[in-house]
Structure 1
Amino acid sequence: MKRDLQTPTGDEPPTATLAPRAELDFYDRALAELSAALTALEAWNLMMAAPQPLMRLAFRIRDAISSRFGVRRIGGFSGRRRETVAEGERLDFFLVERAAPDLLVLTERDRHLDVMTTISTAGRWIAITSSVVTHNRFGRVYMLPVGPAHRIIVRRMLRRLRRRLAG
């Protein structure tokens, strides 16, 4: 939907990235207007409440392949609801680096790549921004299928969130 990706009038949701955009190996930002304003944590809870079956399969495949290269298994998303979250805690496999009502900065880092995903809100607008810096060949190869899949998955999650809130 073209409407999912438009720029809001006024202030955009805040964001953070691992590095300036020109230094990233992957960057994606998806933006959607919702029917109601949410905090970043409320959005996380709603999006993760019922992980998509294909996501579970994708994480199983990811773990099976990546673990052979010394990458920690992450298992995917639990669907567990959180009422609060603080810096230094974990949301599933992500480390929470920043937690504010309008911004969650989540990271996962290993020897192959660093990932940062932000969920940010401004009024009824939500943005999910992901940035990746790869450290070696495995990290670059890993991102070949993950990058395009990530874009599809995030946009589907935002469409599902919009439908859920529209009731």
Structure 2
Amino acid sequence: MVETIDAPAGSEISRRLDGAYYHDSYRIAIPPSDASALELYLRVARQTPGWVNWLMDLRNRLVGLVGLKNLGALNGASARKPALDYRVGDRVGIFDVRYLTQDEVILGDTDKHLKVEVSVCKTDGALNVSTVVHLHNLLGRLYLVPVAPLHKIIVRSMLRRAGGLNA
């Protein structure tokens, strides 16, 4: 079961909440695992449902009309590159690695309308996903009107998949 929570206490993402226009956090129980937070993210992202990729494709086509980035697909990370080979600054699918430890990875992207950061954080028996969005202008605010509700559905769906992983 996916639970709505506060950003995990002591996490790096919790330090990035100041001034955020939007943020959310969710948690799901997972079996004990030695896998890193990035490994778990990659496992889930590589199993992205087709409907999510369809929404990302639609998003990319629509935002291109107003000059925003085409991010590609959520499952766009190379299946050949192991999690251990990623470093801060590397691209992982639609995101750049912004922060990386065994228990937390922050992935993000910045465009002219906003900065988004997504944390995947392992805590005792749980996987937590927190999103923090800082807006740059009115376009960012307008962008979030349709995106924020869809984001919540997508994150919950992806976390349900993570709960079924053999972590």
How would you bin the TM-score normalised by the shorter chain? 0.7 to 0.9
Alpha-carbon spacing, 1:151–1:6, altered in 2? closer, same or farther (3 Å)? closer
Secondary structure of 1:164's counterpart equals coil
Q: Residue in 2 aligned with 1:114? A: 115
Task: Give distance in 2, aligned partners of 1:18 and 1:72.
Answer: 27
Q: How far off its partner does 1:100 sit?
A: 0.8
Aligned length: 160
Q: Residue in 1 aligned with 2:164? A: 163
Q: How far off its partner does 1:124 sit?
A: 2.1
For normalisation by structure 2, the TM-score amounts to 0.86
Determine which of 66, 78, 81 is the counterpart of 1:80. 78
Q: How far off its partner does 1:152 sit?
A: 1.1
- Tell me if the contact between 2:87 and 2:100 (Cα under 8 Å) persists in the aligned partners: yes
Q: How far off its partner does 1:165 sit?
A: 2.7
For normalisation by structure 1, the TM-score amounts to 0.86
Task: Give distance in 2, aligned partners of 1:60 and 1:100.
Answer: 30
RMSD between aligned alpha carbons? 2.1
Secondary structure of 1:73's counterpart equals coil
Gaps of 5+ in 1: none
Task: Give distance in 2, aligned partners of 1:51 and 1:94.
Answer: 15
Show the 5 A alignment for 1:141-160. 141-160=142-161
- Give the stretch that moved more between structures: 114-123 or 73-82: 73-82
Task: Give distance in 2, aligned partners of 1:17 and 1:61.
Answer: 31
Q: How far off its partner does 1:15 sit?
A: 4.0
Task: Give distance in 2, aligned partners of 1:162 and 1:12.
Answer: 21
Query: What's the CA shift string for 1:41-92, capped at 9, x where partnerless?
Result: 1211210122211111111111111011111111122153342211111111
